[in-house]
């Protein structure tokens, strides 16, 4: 059964987003034609690329004929196309092991949590504990620097300044969540310094009543599927451990 035009556009947009997240290389029509499960010509794909670009989901760098996702393209992918991945057994065991070591203080567990999330997602991670104003813990800034700093040192400096101010970051973390994980892409963070970043935020609640937020801050092209799966798994472990 042939995919209808709308479904085909969704499939191709998803392929572009996933490939660009993985490689950071603009995606060509020839690549899509080779990877697409059904027989489809490069000319047809170029037409679909044009439609997706007209709709604001894709754009293309001046130096390349390939396409890259826009913020709107990432938003559509996250809302309608993304499928959560299943963390590998090895990854789940590694994360769970950190929580089986036992800790005397929640602060130590929060430190451990940020490190685990950062290493698994290859992004910066943050933990905010309710009831402790002007305070959050973050780890993995090196991952963010590699992704964003490579584009512009000036942008990375602006991000570092905001992270030092803390109140601006806490304002994003404390927003009302209308779903288990909220993802802010680019300008949706309402923070100029984060306009080339995306932030995924989840709440946690322990059996003892401790609450807070765990979050990931990374480039707009971060691996959303892995980020969402990691936050969900870690939130469950924090509930069961504390």
Q: What percent of the chain has pLDDT over 70?
A: 95
Q: What is the pLDDT of residues 102-113, one digit of tens each?
A: 655 777 888 889
pLDDT in tens, 33-56: 999 877 788 899 999 999 999 999
Residues 69, 114, single domain; the answer is no
Same domain, 53 and 140: no
| Percent of the chain topping pLDDT 90 | 62
**Alpha carbons 49 and 104: distance in angstroms, whole number:** 55
Domain final residue pick, 81, 111, 133: 81
Q: Do 192 and 221 fall within a single domain?
A: yes
Does 139 lie in the same domain as 76? Answer: no
SS3 214: strand
Residue at a domain's end among 56, 81, 106? 81
Looking at the structure, tell me whether residues 37 and 108 fall in a common domain.
no
pLDDT at 183: 97
Q: Are residues 107 and 33 in the same domain?
A: no
pLDDT in tens, 223-236: 999 999 999 999 99
Which CATH number belongs to the domain containing residue 193 in this structure? Answer: 3.30.450.40
The two tokens of residue 105 are 């203080």
Domain of residue 77, residue span: 5-81
Indicate the number of domains in the chain. Answer: 2
Please give the pLDDT value at position 213.
96
CATH number at residue 69: 1.10.10.10
> Are residues 69 and 23 part of one domain?
yes
Euclidean distance between CA atoms 169 and 166, whole angstroms: 5
Following DSSP, what letter does each residue of 84-134 receive, concatenated? PPPPPHHHHHHHHHHHHS--SSHHHHHHHHHHHHHHHHTSEEEEEETT-TT
Residue 82: pLDDT above 70? yes
**Confidence category of residue 75, pLDDT binned at 50, 70, 90:** very high
Sorted by sequence, the CB contacts under 8 Å of residue 103 that are 6+ apart come out as 109, 112
Q: Which of 65, 81, 97 is the last residue of a domain?
A: 81
Query: Does 177 share its domain with 102?
Result: yes
Least confident residue range of 72-76, 116-120, 141-145, 152-156: 152-156
Contacts of 170 (CB under 8 A, 6+ apart): 128, 134, 136
1 confidence band (pLDDT: 50, 70, 90): very low
State the Cα–Cα distance between residues 115 and 146, nearest whole angstrom. 17
Residues 112 and 40 in one domain: no
- 226 and 137 co-located in one domain: yes
User: For strand 58-59 and strand 68-69, is the pairing parallel, antiparallel, or unpaired?
Assistant: antiparallel
With b for 16 or more beta-carbon neighbours within 10 A and e for fewer, the 117-154 pattern comes to: bbbbbbbbbbbbbeeeeeebbbbbbebbeebbbeeeee
* 199-213 confidence digits (pLDDT tens): 999 999 988 888 999
The 10s digit of each residue's pLDDT in 4-42 is: 888 999 999 999 999 999 999 999 999 999 998 777 888
**Same domain, residue pair 110 and 218:** yes
Residue 60 and residue 144 in one domain: no
Joined tokens for residue 202:
């989840």
């Amino acid at each position: 059964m042939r995919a209808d035009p709308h479904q085909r556009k969704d499939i191709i947009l998803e392929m572009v987003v996933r490939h660009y997240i993985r490689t950071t290389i603009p995606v060509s029509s020839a690549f899509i034609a080779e990877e697409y499960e059904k027989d489809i010509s490069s000319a047809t794909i170029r037409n679909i690329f044009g439609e997706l670009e007209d709709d604001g989901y894709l754009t293309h760098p001046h130096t390349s004929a390939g396409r890259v996702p826009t913020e709107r393209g990432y938003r559509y992918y996250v809302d309608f196309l993304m499928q959560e991945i299943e963390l590998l057994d090895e990854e789940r065991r590694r994360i769970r092991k950190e929580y089986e070591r036992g800790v005397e203080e929640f602060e130590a567990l929060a430190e451990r949590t940020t490190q685990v999330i950062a290493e698994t997602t290859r992004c910066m991670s943050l933990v905010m504990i309710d009831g402790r104003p002007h305070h959050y813990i973050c780890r993995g800034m090196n991952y963010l620097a590699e992704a964003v700093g490579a584009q512009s040192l000036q942008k990375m400096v602006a991000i570092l300044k905001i992270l030092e101010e803390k109140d601006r970051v806490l304002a994003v973390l404390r927003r009302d969540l209308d779903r288990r994980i909220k993802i802010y892409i680019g300008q949706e963070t309402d923070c100029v310094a984060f306009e080339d970043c995306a932030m995924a935020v989840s709440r946690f609640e322990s059996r003892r009543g401790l609450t807070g937020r765990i979050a990931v801050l990374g480039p707009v092209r971060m691996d959303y599927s892995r980020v969402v799966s990691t936050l969900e798994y870690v939130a469950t472990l924090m509930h069961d451990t504390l």
